[in-house]
Structure 1
Amino acid sequence: MLAYIIRRLLFAVPILIGVNLITFALFFMVNTPEDMARAQLGAKQTTPEMIAAWKADHGYDKPLFFNGEAPGLSKISDTLFVEESLKLFVFDFGQSDSGRQISADIYERMWPSLQIALPTFVIALVTNIALALLIVLFRGSVLDTASMMVAVAIMSVSGLFYIIAGQLLFSKIWHWVPISGYEGGWDGLKFVVLPVVIGVFAGLGSGVRWYRSLFLEEINKDYVRTARAKGLSEIKVLFGHVLQNGLLPILTGVVVVIPTLFMGSLIMESFFGIPGLGSYTIDAINAQDFAIVKAMVFLGSVLYIVGLILTDISYTYFDPRVRLQ
C-alpha cells in the first residue's frame, strides 16, 4: 500500500508540472506583465519606470520559459516558470500581486466555500440516491418515464437560469432569504440556504439519471433474483442488496469529489457574493493577479489527485477483490 501511494505521488509530479506549464502559457498569452503592472498600480498615468520597478519587485522581469542571456542550465532555471513552480511544490504560495498573503486568504476563504459545498454535496447525494431507488422501484411505469423526462429537462437548463430564477423568486418576490451576502456563524444560515437549494436542484437531473442507470444494472443480476426467490420484498431487495452492491461506483464519484469541496463554486459564489475560494479565483482573474491564479490552479490539481488516490485506497476496504500492489 505504501509503495503504491509513493508511486502515485511520483506520477503526480509530471502531471502538476504540465498543469503549471499550461497555466503559465495560457495566462501570459492573454496578459502581459506590463498590463498586469498597470492594473495593479491603478494610476491614470504609469511611467515605464514605474512599470519596470513593479515587475522587478514581483519577479515578472525574468523570461517566462527560457533565459537566453543566462549561462548553462540557468537558461532554464533562471526563469519565471521554474522559480514560481518550485515554490508551489513546497506549498509556498507567497504574496498576491496586490501584496496579500495567499495562504492566509485561502485559509480564511475556504470556510465560506465549505459552508455551501458540503451541505450541497451531502443533501444532493442522499436525494439523488433516494429518488433513483424510488424510480427503479417503479421501473417501466409512467412514473419512471415522467421522471426521466423531468431529469432531462433539468439537465438541459443552464445553472445560471436557476440562480437568477431563484434570486428573483425567493428573494425579490417572496423575500424569504437575502439575494446575496454572507455572515459567519449561525446568523449566516439565511445567506447559505438559497445557494444550497439551487446547487442541489441544478444537479438533480444528472445525478438521478446516473444512479438510476447504476441500479438498473444491478437489478437483474443473479444475486437479486436469488433474493427475490427467497421471498424478500422489492424494497428490501433494493435497499438491502442493490444499494449495497452499488456502493463501489458510488464511492468512485464521492471520494474523488470530497477534496475538491474546498475549492468552492466559481459561478455560485460570484452571483451570491460569498467570499469563498471560487469568487477569490474569479476576482484574481479579473484583476490579472497571476500569483493567485497559479496558486488556485495548482491547489485544485493537487486536491483532485489526492481524491483519485483516496478513491483507489478506499476500494481495497470496500471490495476485497481489489488489492493495490
Structure 2
Amino acid sequence: MINYIIRRIGYGLLILIGVNVFTFILFFAVNTPDDMARMNIGGKRVTQDAIEKWKVERGYNKPLLWDSQQQGVEKLTKTIFFERSVPLFVFEFGASDSGRDIGYELQKRAGPSIALAIPTFLLGIFVVIVFSLLLVFFRNTYLEFWGVALAVFLLSVSGLFYIIAGQFFFSKVLRLVPISGFSAGWDMFVFLALPVVIGIVSRLGGEALFYRTMFLEEIGKDYVRTARSKGLTETVVLFRHVLHNALLPILTSTVAVLPLLFLGALIMESFFGIPGLGSYTIDAINAQDFAVVRSMVFVGSALYILGLILTDISYTIADPRIRLS
C-alpha cells in the first residue's frame, strides 16, 4: 500500500514539474517580459525606459535560464526561472505584479472558497446519487420518463442562466437571500445558500444521467439477481448492493474534482461577490497580473494531481485488488 502511494506521488511530482516548465515557457518565452510590461502599463506607445523600469521593479530584467555574468551556482539562481518558478514547489508565491503578497491573499481567500465548495460537493453528491437511484427504482414508468426529461433539460441549460435567474427570482422578486456579498459567522449561510443550490442544480442533469446509466448496467448482473432471489427488497438491492459495487466510477467522477472546487467556481464567485480564489483569479486576469495567474495555474495543477492521488488511494480502499496493479 505504501509503495503504491509513493509510486503515485512520484508520477504526480513529474507531472507537476512538466506543468511548471510548460507554464514558464508560455509566460516568459512566448509572452516575453517586455510584452507583460506593455500590457500592464498600457498600450504600445510605452517608452523602453518605462518598460525597463517596470521589469527592474518586479525582477523580470534578469535572464530566463542562465546568467553568464554571474559566478558559480548564481549562474542558475540569478535567473527568472529559479526565482519565479522553483519557489512554487515549496508554495512560496512571492509578490504579485501590483506588489501584494500572493501567499497572504491565497490564505485569506481560501476560506470563502472552501465554505462554498464543501457543501456544494457533499450535498451535490448526495442529491445526484439519490436522484439517479430513484430513476432506476422507477424505471419503465412515467416517473423515470419525466425524471430523465428533467435531467436532460437541466443539462441543456447554461450555468450562467441559473445564476442570473436565481438572483432575479430569489433575491429581487422574493427577497429571500442577498443578491451578492459575503460575511463571516452565521450570516455566511445566508450569503452561500443560493450559490450552493445553483451549484447543485447545475451539475445535477449531466451527473444524474451518467449515474443512471451506470446503475442500470449494474442491476443486470448476477449478484443483483442473487440478492433478489434471497428476498431482499428493491430498495435494499439498489441502495446497498448496487451502490456499493458502483463505487469505483463514482469515485472517478467525484474525488478528482474535489480539490478543484477549492479554487472556487470562477463565474459563481464573481457574480455573487464571494472573495474566494476563483474571483481572485478572475480579477488577476482582468488586471493582467501575470504573477497571480501563474501562481493560480500552479495551485490548480497541484490540487488536480492531489485529486488524482486521492482517487487512486480511494480505489485501493474500495477494491484492494487494485494495489497489485
TM normalised by structure 1 equals: 0.89
Q: Does 1:213 align with 2:219?
A: no
Q: CA deviation at 1:291?
A: 1.3
Q: Does 1:6 align with 2:9?
A: no
Cα deviation 1:55-101 (Å, max 9, x = unaligned): 11212123446778889998877642343221111221111111211
Give 1:147's aligned residue: 147
Cα pair distance change 1:226/1:89, threshold 3 Å: same
Q: Does 1:259 align with 2:259?
A: yes
Correspondences of 1:287-302 after superposition (within 5 Å): 287-302=287-302
Question: 1:31–1:288: 8 Å Cα contact kept in structure 2?
Answer: no
Q: What one-letter code is carried by the residue in structure 2 that aligns with 1:310?
A: L
Q: Does 1:15 align with 2:15?
A: yes
Correspondences of 1:1-325 after superposition (within 5 Å): 1-27=1-27, 33-34=33-34, 36-37=36-37, 48-64=48-64, 79-324=79-324
Q: What one-letter code is carried by the residue in structure 1 that aligns with 2:137?
A: L
Q: What one-letter code is carried by the residue in structure 2 that aligns with 1:180?
A: S
Write the distance in 1 (CA, Å) between the matches of 2:170 and 2:28: 42
Question: In the comparison of the two structures, how many residue pairs are matched?
Answer: 324
Q: CA deviation at 1:156?
A: 1.1
Question: 2:4–2:323: 8 Å Cα contact kept in structure 1?
Answer: no
Over the residues paired in the alignment, what is the CA RMSD in angstroms?
2.7
The 10-residue stretch of structure 1 (170-179 or 46-55) with the greater mean CA deviation from structure 2:
46-55
Write the distance in 1 (CA, Å) between the matches of 2:26 and 2:143: 48
Cα pair distance change 1:164/1:14, threshold 3 Å: same
Cα deviation 1:233-255 (Å, max 9, x = unaligned): 11111112111212222122232
Write the distance in 1 (CA, Å) between the matches of 2:39 and 2:187: 36
Cα pair distance change 1:288/1:31, threshold 3 Å: farther
Q: Which blocks of at least 5 consecutive residues in structure 1 are unaligned?
A: none
Write the distance in 1 (CA, Å) between the matches of 2:243 and 2:50: 64
Write the distance in 2 (CA, Å) between the matches of 1:214 and 1:226: 19
Identity %: 58
Q: CA deviation at 1:179?
A: 1.0
Write the distance in 1 (CA, Å) between the matches of 2:287 and 2:194: 28
Question: 1:284–1:290: 8 Å Cα contact kept in structure 2?
Answer: yes
Write the distance in 1 (CA, Å) between the matches of 2:104 and 2:223: 53
Write the distance in 2 (CA, Å) between the matches of 1:246 and 1:60: 51
Write the distance in 1 (CA, Å) between the matches of 2:174 and 2:38: 44
TM normalised by structure 2 equals: 0.89
| Dislocated runs of 4+, deviation >6 Å | 66-77
Write the distance in 2 (CA, Å) between the matches of 1:206 and 1:78: 50
Write the distance in 2 (CA, Å) between the matches of 1:240 and 1:142: 25
